[in-house]
Amino acid sequence: MDSQPLISVLVPMYNVAPYIKKCVDSIQCQTYQKIEIILVDDGSADETLSVARELAQNDKRIRVIHQSNQGVSVARNRLISESLGEYVVFVDPDDYVSADYVEFLYHLIARNNFQSKLSMCSLMVEYYGKNKSYDAGDGSIATWRAEDCLASMCYGELVDTCTVAKLYHRSLFDDISFPVGKKFEDMGTTYRLLDAAGTIECGFIAKYFYILRPNSITTSTYCPDKLDLLEMTDEMAAFVNDKYPNLKQATLRRQVYARFSTLNQTLNERSQAIRSVRLNLITFIKDHANQLKLDARVPKRDRLAMMLLNCGYIPYKYGWLTYLKIVKN
């Protein structure tokens, strides 16, 4: 074990008192022994901090840091700056991980003689309060180029935009940090980390249990902060298109997807401000739909959504709400 590098497991926390113990328990049980566990409480208003401190009393590997509420990006950046490991890996506080989460990610890098600085696994997505889940992986293990990972991410295939389920050599963060004051910070960061890594060790086997909750940033109703997704996605597209011109079609798909995602959160809103936002979203989608409809890598759901929207906003709205009811059941 002494020859193995220290790996820092980083957990940003905000008002997660009901979930944090299960999360930390899963980290404490890791088969990879040489870890430190750092918990940053971002000014929680509930009992998160006291629960975390109690957990730390019984495990010397745990460090708890408290700061005033500054947002998840500041918390993630603080976690990296406080960490001591050669590698870092994130776990979100309302999720949990398999016992071999860290070991699996580390051995992916080790299997290729440490030529890559980033590895990833897949998510097991669990629907909160339901006996329902799906495995986002396909069981394959391979070394991918950054360009291939970026294409897969943009098309919504095996590679996701999540900060979690990835092991990073800490040097990747020398010139990359999470965007302060922005939601969807992973969308604004993951593509840069993939590009900086150059090659990525991919093990598309589910080792991370992602809990999809009704009040998460991706599933809750619309608020102006949700427009950060468009900003982060458009910045990603500009960066990727400049460095990887062959991926312009892929990044356009991601930009259209981001508009659909935001549009879906406005469907039950009626304010004048929302109508203006909605019009801009619909205009962007319609202006670019023809470029995507013949692309075989565009998911069928996206194509159906574009067809419905082409029939008008009302048919799209009720078609999407019907789709959601089917999925929920």
Give the pLDDT mean for 290-302.
94
Q: What is the reported pLDDT for 218?
A: 47
Going by C-alpha positions, the residue among 213, 193, 25 that lies closest to residue 101 is 25
Tokens of 182: 């922005």
Give the pLDDT mean for 305-312.
94
What CATH class does 7-212 carry?
alpha beta
Q: Is 115 exposed, middle or buried (0-12, 13-18, 19+ CB in 10 A)?
A: exposed
**Matching residue, tokens 């013949």:** 294
Give the pLDDT mean for 232-236.
97
How does pLDDT run across 94-136, given as a tens digit for each residue? 999 999 999 999 999 999 999 999 999 999 999 887 778 899 9
Evaluate if residue 1 carries a pLDDT over 60.
no
Which of 131-140, 194-203, 271-280 is predicted most confidently? Answer: 194-203
Q: How far apart are CA 140 and CA 85, in angstroms?
A: 28
Q: Is 214 exposed, middle or buried (0-12, 13-18, 19+ CB in 10 A)?
A: exposed
Q: 51-65 burial string, b = 16+ CB within 10 Å, else e?
A: bbeebbeeeeebbbb
Q: What's the whole-model pTM score?
A: 0.94
Classify residue 172 by its DSSP letter: G
Domain limits, the chain: 7-212, 224-328
Strand partners, 8: 36, 88
Q: What is the pLDDT confidence band of residue 297, given thresholds at 50, 70 and 90?
A: very high
Catalogue the E-assigned strands of the chain.
Answer: 7-13, 35-42, 62-67, 87-90, 96-97, 118-127, 133-135, 141-145, 166-169, 199-212
Evaluate if residue 177 carries a pLDDT over 50.
yes
Length of the chain measured in residues = 329
Q: How far apart are CA 229 and CA 262, in angstroms?
A: 8
Q: What is the reported pLDDT for 217?
A: 45
**How high does pLDDT run on average in the chain?**
94
Q: How far apart are CA 316 and CA 267, in angstroms?
A: 10
Evaluate if residue 222 carries a pLDDT over 80.
no
- Helix, strand, coil share (%) of the chain residues, nearest 5: 45, 20, 35
Give the pLDDT mean for 31-49.
98
How does pLDDT run across 143-154, given as a tens digit for each residue? 999 999 999 999
Q: How far apart are CA 56 and CA 96, in angstroms?
A: 17
